[in-house]
Amino acid sequence: MRITDIIMDFDGTCTVIPDIYQAFLSEYLAGLNNTAFSGSPIMAEEWKDAQEKVRMHSPQAAWTIAYAPAAPAAADPYILSFEAAKYLLWKKNIQKDIPQEVFKNASDRFPAPWRPEAREVFETLLKKNINITFISNSSSRTITQRLLNLFSVQELPFGIAVKSDAAKFRIAELPWYSAISQDAQGLFQAVPVTHKDVGIGRPVYLQRAAYFEAICAAFNNDLARLPTTVVCGDIWEMDLALPYELGANIHLIERASPFDTYGYERKATLQDTRRGKVSKDLGGLLEWVK
């Protein structure tokens, strides 16, 4: 079976998180102390302790940005920071939300660099006439600009598209007024609400309407290409579980310390080795197109 498409996640999947996570977390703390915790600032040791509390309880502890559990709470510094802040809000009995600017300012100031192999891998895939589409929680504008910088061009190379702002963390059904075709809606509705038990002490929710809508947008509502598509991500639950149920192939990029990939993520990805692969870097994607 010839692969025609690759759908890429961005943060962590394509970037080097260990290079920036400490600086990001420090900047995030500064943002918290200027906003939600301005009346009761968080000390550095307290911030470190909150992170360790989250790590200790992850993956049962989950990312709850949209309330329903969406991913392991210690899967990356972006999720970890939010959950550590929520824990401290609870501990201090502060009834406030975390302003979006806290994350944006920290991530803008300390963007994670591209993986060193990224450009070469993407160019190899394009030469093999593989379509590459980026679908991530990050904004389309951000990813597009990062790609332009990566390739040192003014326009995206032919064969690369960005359909991001996917809100993969949002557990939801499709709205009744969805413009997605009935056939595509039927495919989504056939997906189980939760994955079978993976042994982490909580459900893994599969029906993520915003993510599904982004996938439909990438394929112009024609999902017949899913069996010849590989979806690549670094968090199985958020990036890969739904596409697999929809019929796509999946590729897990292992996370580096201190945000190591969990064993159950590898096991779930490799439940059918004809449809799932795992690698430490993006070079593993080329195994699909030999």
- Give just the sign of the alpha carbon dihedral 154, 239, 260, 25: positive
Going 272 to 164 to 75 to 237, the CA torsion angle's sign is: negative
Task: Quote the tokens at residue 264.
Answer: 């159950």
pLDDT at 1: 78
Proportion of the chain above pLDDT 70, given as a percent:
100
Determine the distance from the C-alpha atom of residue 177 to the mean position of all C-alpha atoms in its chain, rounded to a whole number: 27
Report pLDDT for 229: 98
Confidence of residue 286 (pLDDT cuts 50, 70, 90): very high
Are 102 and 35 in contact by the 8 Å Cβ rule? The answer is yes
37-68 tens-digit pLDDT: 999 999 999 999 999 999 999 999 999 999 99
Other C-beta atoms within 10 Å of 270: how many? 14
Confidence band (pLDDT; 50, 70, 90) for 108?
very high
Q: What is the 3-state secondary structure (H, E, C) of 186-214?
A: HHHHCCCCECCCCCCCCCCECCEHHHHHH
CA angle 211, 212, 218 (to 5 degrees): 95
d(CA 262, CA 254): 9
Spatial contact of 74 and 59, defined as CB atoms under 8 Å apart: yes
Model pLDDT for residues 247-261, shown as the tens digit of each residue = 999 999 999 999 999
5-16+113-289 has CATH 3.40.50.720 classification: no
Model pTM score: 0.97
Helical residues (DSSP H) of the chain, grouped into ranges: 21-34, 44-57, 77-91, 100-109, 118-127, 140-151, 182-189, 209-218, 241-246, 263-269
pLDDT tens sequence across 266-278 = 999 999 999 999 9
CA dihedral 124, 127, 129, 132 (to 10 degrees): 40
pLDDT of residue 263: 98
pLDDT for 265? 98
Q: Domain-by-domain residue ranges, the chain?
A: 5-16+113-289, 21-109
Q: What angle do CA 240, 268, 136 make, to 5 degrees?
A: 15
Beta-bridge mates of residue 172: 208
Mean pLDDT of all residues in 4-26: 98
CA dihedral 101, 105, 144, 173 (to 10 degrees): -30
